[in-house]
Amino acid sequence: MASPMDTTATLDRRTAGAWALAQPPAPRERIADDKALLRAAAELSRDLAAPRPWIYWADSLASVALGYAALAGAILLPQTGLAILSGIVAVFALYRAGSFIHEVSHMKHAAVPGYRLAWNLLVGVPLLIPSFLYEGVHTLHHAKTRYGTVDDPEYLPLALMKPWSVPMFVGAAALAPIAFLFRFAVLSPLSLAIPPLRRTIAARFSALAINPAFRRRDEKDEYRRYWVRLEIAAGLWAIALIALVATGIVPLKAFAIFLGVLAATMVLNQVRTLVAHLWENDGEAMTVTAQYLDSVNVPPPGLLPMLWAPVGLRYHALHHLLPGVPYHNLGEAHRRLCAAVEAGSPYHKASYKGLPGLLGRLVRSTFGQR
Q: For residue 307, how many other CB atoms are within 10 A of its CB?
A: 14
Residue 20 counted as domain residue: no
Q: What is the pLDDT of residues 189-214, one digit of tens each?
A: 998 889 889 889 999 999 999 999 99
Report d(CA 53, CA 57) in Å as an integer.
Answer: 6
Residue 211 counted as domain residue: yes
Domain span at residue 363? 42-52+129-370
Residues whose CB falls within 8 Å of the CB of residue 345, separated by 6 or more in sequence, listed in order? 34, 36, 37
Count the alpha carbons within 13 Å of 218 in the hemisphere toward its beta carbon: 5
Residue 156 counted as domain residue: yes
Residues whose CB falls within 8 Å of the CB of residue 147, separated by 6 or more in sequence, listed in order? 141, 155, 281, 285, 286, 291, 320
Residue 62 counted as domain residue: no
Asked if residue 290 lies in contact with residue 317, where contact means CB atoms within 8 angstroms, the answer is no
- pTM, to two decimals: 0.91
pLDDT tier at 14, thresholds 50, 70, 90: very low
Check residue 32 and give its pLDDT. 87
- The mean pLDDT of 170-184, rounded to a whole number, is 96
Check residue 23 and give its pLDDT. 60
Helix 355-366 to helix 165-174 angle (10° resolution) is 120
Check residue 370 and give its pLDDT. 54
| Residue 154: pLDDT over 70 | yes
Check residue 129 and give its pLDDT. 97
With a pLDDT cut of 70, the percent of the chain lying above it is 92
How far CA 111 is from CA of 51, 99, 142, 282, 323, in Å, comes to 7, 19, 21, 38, 16
For the chain, what is the domain count?
1
Residue 286 CB burial class (10 angstroms; 0-12, 13-18, ≥19): buried
Residue 36 counted as domain residue: no
| Residue 24: pLDDT over 80 | no
pLDDT tier at 217, thresholds 50, 70, 90: confident
Residue 2 counted as domain residue: no
Check residue 222 and give its pLDDT. 76
Q: For residue 43, how many other CB atoms are within 10 A of its CB?
A: 10
Residue 15 counted as domain residue: no
Over the chain, what is the mean pLDDT? 90
Check residue 20 and give its pLDDT. 56
Check residue 17 and give its pLDDT. 57
Read out DSSP for 38-54?
HHHHHHHTGGG-S--HH
- The mean pLDDT of 43-66, rounded to a whole number, is 97
Read off φ and ψ for residue 346, nearest 5 degrees: -55, -20
- The mean pLDDT of 1-10, rounded to a whole number, is 32
Check residue 283 and give its pLDDT. 86
- The mean pLDDT of 141-159, rounded to a whole number, is 92
Residue 61 counted as domain residue: no
Segment among 221-225, 341-345, 355-359 with least mean pLDDT:
221-225
| Residue 65: pLDDT over 70 | yes
Segment among 5-9, 237-241, 253-257, 321-325 with least mean pLDDT:
5-9
pLDDT tier at 6, thresholds 50, 70, 90: very low
- The mean pLDDT of 126-146, rounded to a whole number, is 94
With a pLDDT cut of 90, the percent of the chain lying above it is 81
